[in-house]
Chain A
Amino acid sequence: KAGVTQTPRYLIKTRGQQVTLSCSPISGHRSVSWYQQTPGQGLQFLFEYFSETQRNKGNFPGRFSGRQFSNSRSEMNVSTLELGDSALYLCASARRGTYGYTFGSGTRLTVV
């Protein structure tokens, strides 16, 4: 059974650019959540999508956005990148409720 797949694994961007990260959930999982992990702030919730609708949103600026497609795949976008956006971005998917809340390996974003 395939796990949660995140692409790309590594990314280097320049300040001011924008970036799109992709997440393919486990088959049958309709909930997709995104987290940012940094050494200073730990794991911080960005947003959650369920059936193409944003169901929850964390305390991040509007530069962070996301969407979910009809096949449950999700993308997140960060516009006007700042140095502080350098982090490991993790995606998690779940089936019914919170059951099997499984993370992908993440995308390591470095902003220079």
Chain B
Amino acid sequence: GQQLNQSPQSMFIQEGEDVSMNCTSSSIFNTWLWYKQDPGEGPVLLIALYKAGELTSNGRLTAQFGITRKDSFLNISASIPSDVGIYFCAGQPSSNTGNQFYFGTGTSLTVIP
């Protein structure tokens, strides 16, 4: 199935630094979701985006739905050790009826205290 291009694949940052990651697709998407997954657990929904250009925050996290509807961005400000994990983007194509999401390959985040 289709997968989104998510970058970077991994990041090693110092505590307190800001983080940026993004996802791109060749298809137009109606919905973008961002998740964080800890080892052995299911992904936890961080932010949901439903309109092109939409900018949404959840605490230190901010995500944007790209104007072209083919990309999305996630920023984490002032990282802390508990931000460690794998972050996934998920997109729902505009051609899709119902709930079928395509997932990015994930960004593994390591925060060095």
Measured between alpha carbons, how far is A100 from B98 in the docked complex, in Å? Answer: 14
Q: How extensive is the interface on chain B, given as a class? A: 20 to 34
Partner-contacting stretch, out of B16-24, B43-51, B55-63, B75-83 = B43-51
Interface residue count for A (Cβ, 8 Å)?
29
Measured between alpha carbons, how far is A103 from B45 in the docked complex, in Å? Answer: 8
B92 at the interface (CB under 8 A from A): yes
Closest Cβ of chain B: how far from A66's Cβ, in Å?
14
Is the pair A100, B45 in contact by a Cβ cutoff of 8 Å? yes
Q: Which of A4, A6, A43, A56 contacts B99 (CB 8 A)?
A: A56
Residues of B within 8 A of A (CB): 1, 3, 31, 33, 35, 40-45, 48, 50, 88, 90, 92, 96-106
**Contacts A31-B99, A45-B1, A90-B42 given; 12 further ones with Cβ under 8 A?**
A42-B3, A44-B103, A55-B97, A56-B98, A56-B100, A58-B1, A98-B31, A102-B45, A103-B35, A103-B45, A105-B40, A106-B41
Residues of A within 8 A of B (CB): 4, 6, 31, 33, 35, 42-45, 48, 50, 55-56, 58-59, 90, 92, 94, 97-106, 108
